[in-house]
Structure 1
C-alpha cells in the first residue's frame, strides 16, 4: 500500500535529541520549511532558547524536557504535541550518545545506560508514534537515526555499534509489521557516516586521547536534509556520505578484508592528539552542553553530502549503488588474489 505523507509545511514534527548536533539543524530546517516542531532533550535551557529562536523567526515550536531512556518521559513528549498542536505527523528518533572504549573495558552500567538512550529510546518513541497514528487513523512517518556502525561495527565504539545494530533490526521488523497490517505509517532509517557534531565531546571516553572524527566528515545539516526528506516521502533508508554505503557493501562482499582494514584504521581515525576529556566529563548520565551543531573534529569537513541529494532520485541512486558494488567486488577480488599467494595466510 502506497502511503502519501503530508508536505512539510503542513506537518507537526517531533524531534528527540534536539538541543544540539543533528537534532538542532533538523528543528531549525523543519521550522523554516513551515513545519510546527516539538523538540525534546534533557537540556532545558538549550530547548528554551531554541524554541524562542524559532518562534521569534515566525515559526511555531514547543519543547519538552525529557530523557528518552525513560518510557514515561517519551509518552509526555507525545502528549505535549497533542496538547500544543492537536497531534503530530512525523516522529524523529534522533537522541543518542556514544562510548569510546574497548568491549572488555567499558563498564556494564555504562553499557546499560547507553542502551537505555540509543535503543530503548527508539522503541519507546516508535511505540508512542504508532499508537498516535493508529488512534488518529491518518498517515504518519517515523524516522530513526541509525549509523554506518549499525551495519558494520568498528573497534573502539563497539558498545555504540551494538545498540545501533539493535536499532536497525527493530526498524526493519517494525516497518514490515506495519506494512503487513496495512497501517499507513512509513518507517525510515537514516545511516550517517562521520558527522561534524559535538557527538565526541558528549561521549563517555575511556581513551587517553580525545575522541575526534578523522577522514571525511559531513555537516549535520546533510543529515537533517535526509531526515526531512523521509518525513515527507516514503523512503526505506538514506545514507549520509557515499563512503558509508560503500563501506557497508564492501563488508558484505569481503568481510575478512574489512576486518583487517578496520583493525588497522579504527583506532587512529577515532581520536586526535589532544588529551582526552575526563572520563566523568560527558553526557551519558546527564545533559551535555547545548545549542551547538558542530563539534571539534579534525577531519576533512565537507560542505554537504552530494549522495543525500542523489538519493532523492531513485534512478541515480541505483546506478551509483551498482558502481559501488563493482568497486567493492574489485577490492574483494584483489584481496582474494593476495591471500591465494603461496606463503600468505
Structure 2
C-alpha cells in the first residue's frame, strides 16, 4: 500500500467521467436515477439488482444513448452474488472506482407483529448486503492501491427510530454503525478509501409499493418528500469528493438534530405525527406476494404513488456541495441580523 495519508489518498479520487461505478438496486427508484445520471455524466456503470429484465432494458437504453453499461442479476443478501458483481465490473472494465450500496427493502408493520423470518430476510438485504458490498469494495481499493469511494445509503430512520417501520429503522441504524466503524478503521490504516454515508429523508420512489406490509391500508409517503434525483446528486458528488455524511432533505437533518438533543420530546411528537403519514386510508394494502422482500419487484419506475408535497430539489444537498459558499452566506445573514437588531434598538432608544 502507498505511504500517503488518508487525506492525500481520498483527495485524488477520479473525476466522474473517468470512473467505473457499481450501483446495487439499480432497477428502480434511487438506483435507477443514479445510474442514468452517472452515465449521462460520462461514467461507466455496472448495474446490479434482482430484476434482470429491468436491468437489461436500462442497459440497452444507456448503450443506445452512447454510454457504457453492463448489468448482472444479483441478490445482495448472498455474499457469492455480491462477489459476482465485482467480477463483472473487473471483467468488463478492469476495475471499479465507486461502489454504491443502494439496494434495500422495507416492512410496514408493528414491531410485535412482524415475523422473525421477514425480519431476517430484510436484514439479509439491507444490512448484510451493505457489509458484503463494503468489504468487496474496500478490498478492491486496497489491492489496487488506488483511491476509491464507498457510498452506503442510510436513512433518516437510521438516525431516529420510528413507528410501523421498526425493522427497517433497525437495519439502517446497523448500517450507520457499520459505516462509521469501518471508516474509522480504514482511516487509521491509511486505506485508500473514501467512505460516505447518505442520509435520505422521505424520497418519492416505489419504495412503499414494494414494501412487505402488515397493514390494512397501502403504505405511502404523505407530506413533504424529495425526488430521487436529489439523492443521486448527493451520491455522485460523493463519488469524486470525499464526504463523511450528506443529508438529503431538511427533514432528515432536523429529525437527526431533534432526536439527538431532545429525544423525549421528539418521541412524543413522532408518536402523534408519524403513523398517519405512512399509509393511505383509501387504498387496500398490497399482498405479501406483491412485495419485493423475497423476490424482485417491478422495475424501471423512478417515482412512486405517494401523496403530498413533492420537492424538486434538496437545498441541504446543494449546501453540502458548496460548504465554503454556504458558510459565507450564513455568516453574512448573521451579521445582517445583528446589525438590524442594533439599529432597531438605537431607534427605540
Q: Normalising to structure 2: TM-score of the pair?
A: 0.90
How is 1:121-270 mapped onto 2 (pairs within 5 angstroms)? 121-270=129-278
- Secondary structure (helix, strand or coil) at the match of 1:5 reads coil
Change in Cα spacing, 1:316 to 1:111, as seen in structure 2 (3 Å) is: farther
- Shift of the alpha carbon at 1:315? 3.5
- Shift of the alpha carbon at 1:320? 9.2
Distance 1:127 1:44 in 2: 24
**Does residue 31 of the first structure (1) align with residue 39 of the second (2)?**
yes
- Shift of the alpha carbon at 1:316? 5.3
How is 1:4-83 mapped onto 2 (pairs within 5 angstroms)? 4-83=12-91
Q: Which residue number corresponds to residue 275 of structure 1?
A: 284
Quick check: 2:224–2:308 contact (8 Å CA) kept in 1? yes
Which of 296, 313, 327 is matched with 1:287 structurally?
296
Runs of 4+ in 1 over 2 A off after TM superposition: 315-322
Which of 97, 102, 105 is matched with 1:97 structurally?
105
Q: Normalising to structure 1: TM-score of the pair?
A: 0.91
- Secondary structure (helix, strand or coil) at the match of 2:246 reads strand
- Shift of the alpha carbon at 1:319? 8.0
**Does residue 309 of the first structure (1) align with residue 314 of the second (2)?**
no
When Rg is computed on C-alpha atoms for both structures, the one with the higher figure is: 2
Change in Cα spacing, 1:51 to 1:318, as seen in structure 2 (3 Å) is: same
The Cα offsets for residues 163-189 of structure 1, whole Å up to 9 and x where unpaired, read as 000000000001111110011101000
- Shift of the alpha carbon at 1:63? 0.2
Distance 2:22 2:31 in 1: 10
Change in Cα spacing, 1:292 to 1:112, as seen in structure 2 (3 Å) is: same
Distance 1:306 1:58 in 2: 31
Which of 121, 128, 151 is matched with 1:120 structurally?
128
Structure 2: 5+ residue stretches without partners: 1-5, 332-349
- Secondary structure (helix, strand or coil) at the match of 2:252 reads helix
Q: Which residue number corresponds to residue 336 of structure 1?
A: none
Query: What RMSD, in angstroms, separates the aligned Cα atoms of the two structures?
Result: 1.3
Distance 2:113 2:296 in 1: 24
- Shift of the alpha carbon at 1:318? 5.5
The Cα offsets for residues 136-172 of structure 1, whole Å up to 9 and x where unpaired, read as 1100000000000001011000000000000000000
- Shift of the alpha carbon at 1:321? 9.6
Q: Which residue number corresponds to residue 337 of structure 2?
A: none
Distance 1:86 1:296 in 2: 40
Quick check: 2:290–2:297 contact (8 Å CA) kept in 1? no
The Cα offsets for residues 323-345 of structure 1, whole Å up to 9 and x where unpaired, read as xxxxxxxxxxxxxxxxxxxxxxx
Distance 1:5 1:92 in 2: 15
Distance 2:240 2:230 in 1: 16
Which of 272, 288, 297 is matched with 2:306 structurally?
297
Quick check: 2:198–2:234 contact (8 Å CA) kept in 1? yes
Distance 1:284 1:68 in 2: 12
